[in-house]
Amino acid sequence: MTLPLTPEFAPAAYEPLAAAEGRVVLLLPPEGRLGALARRLNRAARGAVQRALDSKAWAKLKPGEAMELQWPAGLRAEAVQLVKLPARATVAEARKAGAAAGRALGEAGAVVLAAGQRRVADIALGLTLRAYDFGRYRTGEAAPKPRGTVTILVDDPDAARAAMVPVAAVAEGVCFTRDLVNEPANVLTTTDFASRLAGMKSLGLSVEVLEEKDLEKLGMRALLGVGQGSESPSKVVVMEWQGGKKGEAPFAFVGKGVCFDSGGISIKPAAGMEEMTMDMGGAGVVAGLMRTLALRKAKANVVGLVGLVENMPDGRAQRPGDIVASMKGDTIEVINTDAEGRLVLADVLWYAQDRFSPRGMIDLATLTGAIIIALGHENAGVFANDDRLAAALLKAAGAEGEGAWRMPLGPAYDEMIKSRLADMKNTGGRPGGSITAAQFLRRFVRDDTPWCHIDIAGVALQSKDTTLAPKGATGWGVMTLDRLVRDLLEG
């Protein structure tokens, strides 16, 4: 995997700033007040830092934004980056400030002066996440350059290192998810995906891979129907983390893992189909979350389940009009083979409840284009049968700066997926498309199981850079769900 950059922490002193040959990053209050070390650096740079802070350009910057002095006279550094950060910065501002440094990081590395800052771990997290670069398939001049060492100068290095331990676990989980979502489908097959998850046994996770013969015995015909036109075998992977009280019911996270979605017989338009390598984004988030929980030794019992399939057109592929039986026993008329993710989730959701009787359950999926029409690329859609769980999830998302918005469910939407021939059909058409998809999943959730469905189709992959991620996979959800586990299960 793409290992996240790991910043080093050292006592705040002038010598590392003077000796830096890469970038020097100064985190400064909006009023541009220089501390003792920054004043010494300004004198060495012949007043260039203060002149920049007196400029209109500095005044226009928002918290977390930066300006640069290239090849400053009197210093060895190739650049001095001035980042605006209030003394009482919010979490979002601190991460944005760190991201400004991470975005510009090069081979020569950086020394970051963070003396007096309260949110050093958030600054480091922002830097780490924004420095991520998935470049394993770029060669020659386009090949990614190695990132240099980052040293963050702080008042208390030991305290900063301790605060960084859980943050580093989150960063690795996010990067793991991003890698999975960025991988092409000819590499990340269902078999390769399952193998990568099995590799997390070394972290203390219990990992079980259910093969097609196992799924047949369980009656997962809804899931198996999606993958029957592919050469890649369908699988379900179960990851367990037992960090809580012995015998306590786990919380379950379920992810849609369609490693490539052609639409099947209801084939998608060619334009943009290449992005359907990200249709396993929900499974990617569950995998990244489980990695994070294991790395930080979470004091909770959590199970992560992912359904891994490939949806391809073939002589054996599922057809529009087919009727399949789910593990639950309900029958489903397949109106559109491109509404496949809900068929995968239906069986895995039922299996999670049947086997683990979880205290709560959340599923994630790049499920519908309709959620992008509703919410754009700023928010994931949240659907729930339990107000308390929904509120906790939205609170966690807000705390982590990951957009989420609650959407409705209701009997009228359920009427839209009634079938003439079977118990239900797999799509209710274009009106309310993300809602009827969630309503379909609701039929596979027991009334006594608190549940949320998160449609991440608009947030899993971005066509432009975001604050904490370069263009491509974002890893949306790992930070939110890790925070939810802390608040709900470990609090």
Which strands, in side-by-side order, build the sheet including 424-425? Answer: 323-325, 331-333, 424-425
Task: State the angle between helix axes of 433-442 and 341-356 in degrees (0 to 180), rounded to the nearest 10.
Answer: 30
Please state the three-class secondary structure of 151-197 as a single string. EEEECCHHHHHHHHHHHHHHHHHHHHHHHHHHCCCCCCCHHHHHHHH
Give the helix/strand (H/E) hosting 209.
Answer: strand 206-210
Q: Is 342 a catalytic residue?
A: yes
The single-letter DSSP state of residue 445 is S
Alpha-carbon gap, residue 193 to 426, rounded angstroms: 26
Tokens standing for residue 175:
């990067």
Out of 268, 359, 395, 406, the active site residue is: 268
CB contact at 8 A, 60 and 82: no
Alpha-carbon gap, residue 368 to 433, rounded angstroms: 7
CB contact at 8 A, 26 and 38: yes
Name the residue with tokens 């997290």: 125
CB contact at 8 A, 313 and 229: yes
Alpha helices in 206-320 (DSSP H): 212-218, 221-227, 281-295
Out of 221, 256, 342, 443, the active site residue is: 342
Query: How many other C-beta atoms lie within 10 A of the C-beta of residue 379?
Result: 21
Radius of gyration over every alpha carbon of the chain, rounded to an integer in angstroms: 24
- Please tell me whether residue 26 adopts helix, strand or coil conformation: strand
Alpha-carbon gap, residue 59 to 70, rounded angstroms: 19
Alpha-carbon gap, residue 491 to 398, rounded angstroms: 17
Alpha-carbon gap, residue 267 to 437, rounded angstroms: 19
CA 70 to chain centre: 34
Alpha-carbon gap, residue 371 to 404, rounded angstroms: 11
CB contact at 8 A, 125 and 171: yes
Q: Which of 222, 233, 366 is nearest to 309 (CA)?
A: 233
Q: Which residues are catalytic?
A: 268, 342
